[in-house]
Structure 1
Amino acid sequence: MNYFVSKRQLSEQIGLSPETFKRYRLKGIWEEGIHWQKINSRTTLYNITLILDWIANRDNPQAHQRAIDIYLQSLPSNQPHKRGRKVN
């Protein structure tokens, strides 16, 4: 299950500073829409499941890419549309 947390929660969980998170975002190490989401000008949330996977698989980018693919497939926008009559 993937869920998003604040920078404070992520920092407590993985022991890195929010400045490190920003550096990873700006360098493109963590991808927007996958590892993090910009909510508004002051709030960024982080996908803790994928970040923990990234930490575990830093030396195996293919394994981390599989985790990203599974996450993307799980999104509601990637689910098959049900066919049938529309109920009013």
Structure 2
Amino acid sequence: MKGPRSRGSQIYLVQLLVVLVGLGMVVAGPWRGGVAVVGSAFILGAVSRSVVPVSHTGMLRVRGKFFDMLWMTLLGVALIVLALVIPDQPGR
């Protein structure tokens, strides 16, 4: 089986794996850490989108560069803030 050819597709695959690890953490119990890992994966994707040349973006490119970076950054920051600000539930 061949791996992804473009650098962006390789980064996308790593980002997907990090999201899966974060979701696994959410299911296993430490949900705050898992949500923060997922948020960090999106911020990593945004940073990667800013440095990978357009000819190598592959699956990392959805729309324009600015839109991709803005959307992934906002989503990543929102998830991390969500993990930090939700208060603990009584009895847990």
- TM-score normalised to the size of structure 1? 0.31
Q: Which has the higher helix share?
A: 2
Larger RCO (CA within 8 A; separation ≥ 6): 2
Q: Which has the higher strand share?
A: 1
- TM-score normalised to the size of structure 2? 0.30
